Amino acid sequence: MSNDQFAFIGTYTRLGSEGIYTLRLNGETGELTQVSVATGLENPSFVALDPSGEHLYAVSETSAFNGSGGITAFSVNRSTGELTQINQQSTGGPGPCHLMIDSTDSMVIVTNYSGGSVSAHPIASDGSVGERTEFIQHVGSSINKNRQETAHAHSVNIDKTNRYAFVCDLGKDQVLTYAMDVANAKLSLFSVVDEVAGEGPRHFTFHPTNQQVYVLNELGCTITLYDLGDDGSLTPVETVPTLPSGWDGENTTADIHTSPDGAFVYASNRGHDSLVIYSIDQSTGKMTFVGHEPSQGNTPRNFAITPDGKFLLAENQDSDSIVSFKREAGGTLTPTGSTIKVPAPVCLQFLAVGD
């Protein structure tokens, strides 16, 4: 059976791309080839698959939907990787940048970065996305006057119990936990964790087996480990840097993922243009520095690790490239030699190639 994966790439059309690109990753060699492009969307920067792999959802990071951004639903051809548009809806706020589908394929939650808001939408049986059933406006700011002048909801992640949605708000320096009412596609605020002022929480990843999460702070260039309670509560444990000691150039972080076996956590640095690697203590979740791997390009945005943990693909937004790395036993990364040109890549989601 083939281990090949489709890789769906969200991009910025404002920087010259055509839309959502479908690539194919050779599961044995890590080689990348382009399959198709879904055109007609403005800035489909972030994409997410539903758990069935039958539908893909993309934000339009604009304000073109009557002053708001949009969300578009696609059906996925599991054999060819081609996308067919189903419908579109407004997210209610400008600049949506992240979204997530719950484990029952019943609702999608979107974070609107520019507007500092969160919206929720029901999903129909045909995969179409409905009009929003929830809209929550964040209010607040923090100490960085250039980046934290107002709320900026940056990402949403749903826990494995499908009960809680965690939203990182870079502008408020907070991680907000929302209780989910999946049947009605509604959200209610459950708890709030205040980060250190100026850190700017951006992205969030779960440990695959343990009750821990890792929050990537864009402005502070740090990773914060939290213990995750059964009730959705977050308790901070430690914070580690993403940059090498003594490096004083400009940098912001972008993406974070744990390896499928939970042994390592990776995060991307934009400016230092690297992936930082930490090993994870399986009993405590604490991190030990392993090293930095150059991203082989400029401004590594998101990246993704194949489900089998064998390869990592890094997207270099400002050099229009996606670079394939092989993951070694010690968590380090070795370039496979395969690099593919994709204009302004932002997001990457894997789906196993179907029959």
Largest CA distance in the chain: 53
pLDDT of residue 62: 95
pLDDT of residue 318: 97
User: How far apart are alpha carbons 269 and 294 in whole angstroms?
Assistant: 9
pLDDT of residue 2: 76
Q: What's the whole-number mean pLDDT along residues 160-178?
A: 98
pLDDT over 90, % of the chain: 98
By the 8 A CB rule, do 178 and 167 touch? yes
pLDDT of residue 335: 98
Nearest by Cα to 59 from 46, 74, 41: 46
Nearest by Cα to 269 from 279, 257, 254: 254
Residues contacting 246, CB < 8 A, separation 6+: none
User: How far apart are alpha carbons 108 and 132 in whole angstroms?
Assistant: 9
pLDDT over 70, % of the chain: 99
Residue 286 gets which letter from DSSP?
-
Q: Which residues lie across from 350 on neighbouring strands?
A: 7
Instruction: State the average pLDDT for the chain.
Output: 97
Q: Which residues lie across from 166 on neighbouring strands?
A: 157, 177
Per-residue pLDDT tens over the stretch 74-88? 999 999 999 999 999
Of 2.130.10.10, 3.30.1360.20, 3.40.50.620, 3.90.1170.50, the CATH number of 41-198 is 2.130.10.10
Per-residue pLDDT tens over the stretch 224-255? 999 999 999 999 999 999 999 999 999 999 99
- Reported as a pLDDT band with limits 50, 70 and 90, residue 355 is low
Helix (H, G, I), strand (E, B) or coil at 90: strand
Residue 85 gets which letter from DSSP?
E
Per-residue pLDDT tens over the stretch 22-68? 999 999 999 999 999 999 999 999 999 999 999 999 999 999 999 99
Residues contacting 48, CB < 8 A, separation 6+: 56, 57, 58, 99, 100, 101, 108, 349
The answer, yes or no, to whether residue 104 has pLDDT greater than 90, is yes
Helix (H, G, I), strand (E, B) or coil at 307: coil
Long-range contacts of 178-183 (CB under 8 A, 24+ apart): 178/118, 178/136, 179/232, 180/102, 180/107, 182/102, 182/104, 182/106, 182/107, 183/106
By the 8 A CB rule, do 96 and 111 touch? yes
Quick one: tokens of 334?
């070795």
Q: Give the sheet arrangement for strand 234-241, strand by strand.
A: 201-206, 212-217, 222-228, 234-241
pLDDT of residue 269: 98
How many residues does the structure list for the chain? Answer: 355
Residue 123 gets which letter from DSSP?
B
By the 8 A CB rule, do 49 and 76 touch? yes
Structural domain spans, the chain: 41-198
pLDDT of residue 1: 47
pTM: 0.97
